[in-house]
Structure 1
Amino acid sequence: MGRNTRKRRSPLATKVIAGAAALAVGGGGLVWANFYASAHESGPSHNRTRSAGAQVATIQCPDVGQKLRKVPRGARAGVDRELAQLDKQITEAYARLASTRQAQSGDASYVQNAILGPLKSKRTAALDRIGTNIRRVGGNTPQGLGRFAECRGMGVDQPDDGNGNAGNGQDGQNGDGQGEDDGQGQNGGQGQDGGQNQGDNGNGAAGPFAEDFVDINDVQPGSRDLENGFAANGEGGSQGSFTAVCGVNENNLFNSDNLIVAPGVDNGAHHTHDYVGNQDNDAFSSDEDLANAETSCQNQGDRSTYYWPVLRLQDGTQEFDAGDLGGGAEGNVGKILKASEAEIKFVGNQRSDVVAMPKFLRIITGDAKAFTNGVANANSSFSCTGFEDRQVTDKYVLCPEGSQVVRTSNFQSCWDGQNIDSANHRDHVAFVQQDGSCPNGFQAIPQLQVRLVYDVPAPTVENGQVQNPYAVDGFPEQLHKPITDHNDFINVMDENLMNEVVDCINSGEDCQ
């Protein structure tokens, strides 16, 4: 397998994670020190009870990129670089958290003094530079930017509700090791085994865990909230569809960049992406590069880039990126699973005709940081073939024999009519309202729906442990939680093809 990147990766010896943990013996990637003593399943509800000895599992920091609503265009490149620097700082701090469990067990203030305190200082400097970038082009620094510098320790359970209300297991402290853990006692030592658990799948505390999986038979039909674009088209709207046939990444193009969020930044995603469509889509690609690139789509007028985090089977396979940032050096380990099907479809609006998307429109759906950010922007789901009336966002699914895993992402389908992107990469697009119409000031565009099907060997879950799990790649501190799944799109259709897409949808035809 290969990757499409113009910039050579830094040598392993210089990588920020290289010293964070020991290489796994017989398993892919790095082993992250174990942070809890034991876990036990409690029936279909998948509630976990844990013994005393649990520690801070990960680091929760305010997502500054989501807070920036107005950044002058002239400042965006510099601000994006600083936002990427903030992500790198969190990755480094999480690596230190995972590699210093022995020190933490002997010093209740270690996490705060040695990890979170220095992290706050580094974040303060980066936030100051963001302000400088904005002022340099005549803009005003957002008020209270400095309040986003402080981070805290977080437990392993589900994230807060997006309104600052912590979920179970979050200690609510500043990572001082003294928070209670589900009423089970204080956070403390390394756990019963003093190190890694057997069956840690090559990345130890980086997850996923048994609680992250659910049998599809235990999911109720229709239980997923379909508000964010999963509802079918209404009778009065645009009923057609356009399917883009772009393959399943047969060209083996992978990188850990993110052209939308971190343009010009190598390893801006800290996890590896699959790419279909545009064949020149690393962090350094300009709009001109995208427009002139080759495409894997059958219709050569579609040079759009469609990309998503890879799905891996944590079976000890040493992939091409086993020693790289974004791959094994950041806890993304195991065999990359290529989708057996990648259905890319554009559909209409329940209430109205759709208008053409502007060229180079960028849309992100879902949230790669939903575990620490909260679930407000989570918008991907897992299911099984034959069971797709059952969708879950916060669990990986265990499918019966003969059924395959399905990942679904339905994108925002309302556009502000002016911008191809926004400072936080979200405000220029929106989901439909409950009645299917777009919010005031927005107009309906074709809705992108991506359905990925995988032939995944079913993991086994026994005695609170999961063996050979599968998981989406993610930022290290997100612990491979399924709720962090996401999908990205840049529209690079030529004008004729986009007009054809719109005509098909508005006339009720099904085209490809």
Structure 2
Amino acid sequence: MGRNTRKRRTPLATKAIAASAALALGGGGLIWANFYASAHEENSANQTKSAGAQIATIQCPDVGQKLTDVPDGARQGVDKELANLDKQISEAYTRLASTRQAQAGDASFVDNAILGPLKSKRVAVIDRIGINIRRVGGQAPGNLEQLASCKGMAAEANTNDGQAGGGQNNDGQNNDGQNNEGGQDQGGQDQGGQDQGQDNGGQGQGGNGGQAGNGPAANDFIKIEDVQPNSRNLPNGLAANGDGGSTGTFTTECGTNENENRNSDNVIVAPGVSNGAQHQHDYVGNQSNNAFASDEDLANAQTTCQNQGDKSSYFWPVLRIQDGSNDIDAGQPGGGQDGNVGKIVEPAEAQLKFVGNRTSDVVAMPKALRIITGDAKSTTNGLNNANTSWSCTGFEDRQVTDKYPLCPEGSSVVRTSNFQSCWDGQNIDSANHRTHVDFVEADGSCSNGFKAIPQLQVRLVYDVQAPQINNGQVQNAFAVDSFPEQLHKAITDHNDFINFFDENLMNKMVQCINDGQDCK
């Protein structure tokens, strides 16, 4: 490619200095600096470019989802090791995001300096997981070590079946996936590749967009008017209720987290691990939920629910506006240290409603039942566990799953989660936190002998303005918090519930739903 003279570039040394300075910004946040931006171009914190065309993030097999049978005596140790795997991926992503200059000059850099060492670390942790399971008489899956290999993933890789693309292979061996066409200044000479990326709306090596450089990008948004009515394309998260069966409802009013009760723990997935989620959660209902809370702690906690018989914990990742500002967690784990930056927005509404099943009566949920709906790692895991629904008030017959909606003036953003409502009748949790509950089938029925329980439907409304998108750039984007390498994609939205209704109130809920009444 011939020299492109449309924009004059600064010398490489100057860019490296500017990039190093950018990496120090944001209270410890992950800044994926645009090493190729002109020193004379405006670089405001709230103006971001769409996703890069090369290796955008790191995809690793989700070991936790493969562990369907872990003895109770091994779960604490296994959960801590799974959290270590998450931390290793985040650290590798940080290195990926901060070494773009080295990657541009060495096609094997990602394999040799990032993916290879990551595999070695994962092998050690996976081995310890097996030891934890065998120590108490369990049997670890025989192929766990095969899950140690990770690969690079392109920004626009297809994750429909969990097999995301990317230019790197699985074992840290180079397969020429890195594009190494020019892309660097040599004594002020432009050599093709970099200008092409710079001038195509940020589709080169300028980063994944976002205030912290890890999303969202312009192509993560869609006008709600462009979404077809009744076109939601995920099998998970169907409404269980209908005209037949148990037609009643039970609504619990627990506020919108007015008291700002938040942390970056997840007591379901990573009990005993501080910052196990690596992103902030809003909590309503139970006020004692953190990584170290026992069932006894939760049962004896205070609650924000108007009906004090509901001490259940309802929690979800916060929504932020990336407007160049920072919240109080800018330099903290789960906040800026994990690439979650911008101003946290409290929901204007948080509706928590339990409904019945269109084919049958429902039975009571057991105390301490845990349900996770959606997948915080859907960007790299694919859609098997994804459960997202984004819309706008006045347009809720239009639901989009993999993009954030751009709502017209006067309309608010809506997040909806319809939880799993089929229960195995025995367990309050499972080793992978999935197999003890299931979604209803298309006809509303429960399969595999599971029992219908009340379905929790969470509807969150946010009064946020639509971001401005021009020439592949997005200003004042909003996004949910995420693991750093998940790039704040809309598909990673998820929601969590731990049941601590007292017995009398749970029985009232079941009776109301089965009798076709609307109760509070």
Instruction: Give TM-score scaled by structure 1 length.
Output: 0.88
Corresponding residue to 1:203 among 195, 205, 212 = 212
Superposed CA offset, 1:89-118 (max 9, x none):
000000011111111111111111111011
Deviation at 1:24, TM superposition (A): 2.9
Deviation sequence 1:457-483 (CA, Å, 0-9, x none): 210010011111000000000011100
Stretch of structure 1 that moved more, 295-304 or 104-113: 104-113
* 1:201 and 1:315 in contact (8 A); partners too: no
Partner of 1:285: 293
Q: Is the alpha carbon distance of 1:368 and 1:291 closer, same or farther for their aligned partners in structure 2, counting shifts above 3 Å?
A: same
Match of 2:12 in 1: none
Q: Supply the distance in 2 between the matched residues of 1:191 and 1:429 (Cα, whole angstroms).
A: 49
1:75 equivalenced with 2:83 (yes/no): no
Partner of 2:472: 464
Contact 2:111 2:168 in 1 (8 A): no
Match of residue 173 from structure 1: 169
CA distance in 2, matches of 1:402, 1:116: 47
Alignment match, 1:142:
141
Whole-Å separation in 2 of the counterparts to 1:188 and 1:253: 46
The alpha-carbon deviation at position 225 of structure 1 amounts to: 3.2
What is the deviation of 1:178?
2.8
Which residue identity does 2:132 align to in structure 1? N
Instruction: Compute the displacement of 1:231 (Å).
Output: 3.6
The Cα shift of 1:31 comes to 1.6
Matched, 1:33 2:42: no
Find the counterpart in structure 2 of residue 151 from structure 1: 150
1:339 aligns with 2:347: yes
Structure 2 counterpart SS, 1:505:
helix
Structure 2 CA distance for partners of 1:55 and 1:231, relative to 1, 3 Å: same
- Contact 2:405–2:413 (CA<8 Å) still a contact in 1? yes
SS in structure 2 at match of 1:57: strand
Distance 2:95 2:266 in 1: 25
* AA at the equivalent of 1:225: N
Query: Cα distance 1:394–1:74, how it changes in 2: closer, same or farther (>3 A)?
Result: same
Q: CA shift at 1:157, angstroms?
A: 1.3
1:37–1:191 contact (8 Å) kept in structure 2: no
Larger Rg: 2
Which position in structure 2 is the counterpart of 1:455?
Answer: 463
Q: Distance in 2 between matches of 1:370 and 1:20?
A: 32
Quote the offset at 1:35 in angstroms: 8.6
| Deviation digits for residues 246-271 of structure 1 (CA, Å, limit 9, x no counterpart) | 00001111100001000000000000
Following superposition, the deviation at residue 376 of structure 1 comes to 1.3
In structure 2, relative to structure 1, the CA distance for the partners of 1:197 and 1:115 (3 Å cut) is closer
CA contact (8 A) 2:50 2:219 kept: no
CA distance in 2, matches of 1:24, 1:462: 25
CA offset digits 1:270-329 (Å, max 9, x no partner): 000000000000000000000000000000010000000000000122211000111011
- 1:386 aligns with one of 391, 394, 403: 394
Q: SS of the counterpart of 1:386? A: coil
- What is residue 226 of structure 2 aligned with on the other side? 218
Instruction: Give the Cα separation in 1 of the matches to 2:400 and 2:59.
Output: 23
Distance 1:346 1:61 in 2: 35
Change beyond 3 A, Cα 1:158–1:505: farther
Counterpart residue number, 1:62: 61
Give percent identity, aligned residues only.
69
Cα drift, residue 430 of structure 1: 0.4
Contact 1:29–1:318 (CA under 8 A) maintained in structure 2: no
Deviations 1:161-200 (A, max 9, x none): 2253x45xx335357483278xxx9697694469995995
**Alignment partner, residue 500 of structure 1:** 508
Q: 1:22 to 1:429 in 2, by over 3 A?
A: same
Alignment of 1:6-155 (within 5 A): 22-24=23-25, 29-34=29-34, 54-155=53-154
1:400-454 superposed Cα distances (whole Å, 9 cap, x missing partner): 0000000000000000000000000000000111221101220000000000000
Q: Is the 8 A contact 2:265 2:290 kept in 1?
A: yes
Native 8 Å contact 2:54 2:155 kept in 1: no
- Contact 2:28 2:331 survives alignment (8 Å): no
Pair 332,49 (structure 1): closer, same or farther in 2 beyond 3 Å: closer
Cα distance, 1:163–1:30 mapped onto 2, change above 3 Å: closer
Residues 28 and 318, structure 1, Cα contact 8 Å, conserved in 2: no
The answer to whether the 8 A contact 1:24-1:202 is kept is no
Cα distance change on mapping 1:267 and 1:49 into 2, 3 Å: closer
Unaligned runs of 5+ in 1: 1-18, 39-47
Within a 5 Å distance, the mapping from 1:390-469 to structure 2 comes to: 390-469=398-477
Structure 2: distance between partners of 1:343 and 1:97:
40
Q: Deviations over 1:353-409 (max 9, x none)?
A: 000000000000000000000011110211000000000110000000000000000
User: Structure 2: where are the runs of 5+ without partners?
Assistant: 1-19, 39-48, 185-192
Q: Distance in 1 between matches of 2:494 and 2:21?
A: 27
- Kindly report the root-mean-square deviation, in angstroms, between the aligned alpha carbons of the 2 structures: 2.6
Q: Which residue of 1 aligns with 2:281?
A: 273
Map of 1:209-248 to 2, 5 A cutoff?
209-225=217-233, 227-231=235-239, 233-248=241-256
2:81 & 2:28 partners in 1: Cα distance?
Answer: 31
Q: How has the CA–CA distance of structure 1 residues 473 and 49 changed in structure 2, closer, same or farther, with 3 Å as cutoff?
A: closer
1:307/1:481 CA distance change after superposition, 3 Å: same
Q: 1:488 to 1:187 in 2, by over 3 A?
A: farther
Q: Distance in 1 between matches of 2:208 and 2:132?
A: 47
Secondary structure at the residue paired with 2:260? Answer: coil
Q: Secondary structure at the match of 1:134?
A: helix
Residues 447/484 of structure 1: CA separation in 2 closer, same or farther (3 Å cut): same
